[in-house]
């Protein structure tokens, strides 16, 4: 619903790191996520709240625990709206050239 | 595409500018699903979830576990379109539709009980995003997602 919230949430290295951790293994508790970051519990909570507000993380209750799941749909929607359009034809040819040159370098 | 390992629950959610009834219709009637679900014609009633591919082959034939229009649908999942995936254990898909302010609904899809279906888990993860993105586009613009 709100692209701004998604871009804002993604514009922070700690939050991107949290998404990568969830992508690696989904459905984690706050304590698990906290143990992998050099950050206070409060700090991690704050970042998770921003990610939840952007819809990038969904917290579901499982018994007494609250498990955090990565919701990749907003990124897909941004991809469809903002990336697909600009990466057709000549742009993707340049990206391929860059990848090829950097891989062989 | 993904390197996710041992994921037994997958959660997808998005906001769609539509009524719960419109979303319910779009996920339970074949004329709609054919436009965003890889061409599958999916028919759902209180007992059965039947999905037919464009060539009429059976892609899915699963029991419906909960049927509460227009809010909640729970059905089994086995990917019959691939012999390799069909051999895995059955998993479960839950659709929840929650009305929000401003004419929007929150649609949440939880694909869980994937413990006995690791290849299915891997295979469907990109697929759900395509399907849900396509569903949103269809309901909000009346047109299937291009490309």
Report the candidate in A24, A12, A73 with the shortest Cα–Cα distance to residue B132. A73
Q: What DSSP line would sit under B3-70, residue for residue?
A: ---S---EEEEEEESS-HHHHHHHHH-HHHHTTTSTT-EEEE-SSEEEEE-TTS-EEEEEEEEEEETT
Distance from C-alpha of A30 to C-alpha of A38, rounded to nearest angstrom:
13
- Do B136 and A23 count as a contact with CB atoms less than 8 A apart? no
Say whether pLDDT at A4 is over 90.
yes
Q: What is the ipTM of this complex?
A: 0.80
pTM of the model: 0.86
Contact B128, B109 (CB under 8 A): yes
Chain B residue numbers with beta carbons less than 8 Å from the beta carbon of A71 are 11-13
Peptide bond just before A50 cis, omega within 30 deg: no
Q: What is the pLDDT of residues A61-98, one digit of tens each?
A: 989 999 999 999 999 888 888 887 777 766 677 777 88
Distance from C-alpha of B52 to C-alpha of B138, rounded to nearest angstrom:
20
Chain A residue numbers with beta carbons less than 8 Å from the beta carbon of B2 are 23
Task: Compare CB distances from B12 to A27, A73, A84 and report the shortest one's residue.
Answer: A73
Q: What is the pLDDT of residues B30-78, one digit of tens each?
A: 999 999 999 999 999 999 999 999 999 999 999 999 999 999 999 999 9
Question: Average pLDDT in the B132-144 region?
Answer: 91
**Closest residue of chain B to A84, computed from CA coordinates:** B147
Chain B residue numbers with beta carbons less than 8 Å from the beta carbon of A63 are none
């Amino acid at each position: 619903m709100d692209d701004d919230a998604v871009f804002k949430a993604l514009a922070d290295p700690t939050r991107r790191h949290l998404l990568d951790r969830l992508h690696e293994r989904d459905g984690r508790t706050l304590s698990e996520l906290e143990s992998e970051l050099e950050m206070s519990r409060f700090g991690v909570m704050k970042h998770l709240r921003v990610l939840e507000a952007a819809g990038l993380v969904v917290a579901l209750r499982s018994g007494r625990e609250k498990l955090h799941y990565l919701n990749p749909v907003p990124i897909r929607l941004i991809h469809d709206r903002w990336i697909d359009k600009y990466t057709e034809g000549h742009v993707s040819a340049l990206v391929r050239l860059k990848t090829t040159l950097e891989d062989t370098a | 595409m993904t390197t996710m390992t041992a994921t037994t629950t997958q959660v997808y959610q998005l906001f769609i500018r539509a009524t719960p009834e419109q979303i319910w219709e779009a996920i339970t009637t074949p004329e709609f699903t054919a436009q965003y679900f890889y061409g599958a014609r999916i028919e759902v009633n209180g007992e059965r979830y039947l999905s037919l591919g464009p060539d009429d082959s059976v892609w899915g034939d699963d029991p419906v576990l909960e049927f509460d229009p227009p809010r909640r649908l729970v059905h089994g999942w086995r990917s019959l379109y691939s012999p390799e995936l069909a051999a895995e254990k059955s998993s479960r898909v839950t659709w929840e539709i929650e009305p929000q302010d401003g004419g929007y609904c929150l649609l949440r899809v939880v694909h869980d009980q994937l413990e006995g279906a690791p290849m299915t888990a891997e295979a469907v993860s990109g697929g759900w995003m395509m399907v849900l993105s396509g569903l949103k586009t269809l309901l909000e613009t009346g047109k299937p997602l291009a490309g």
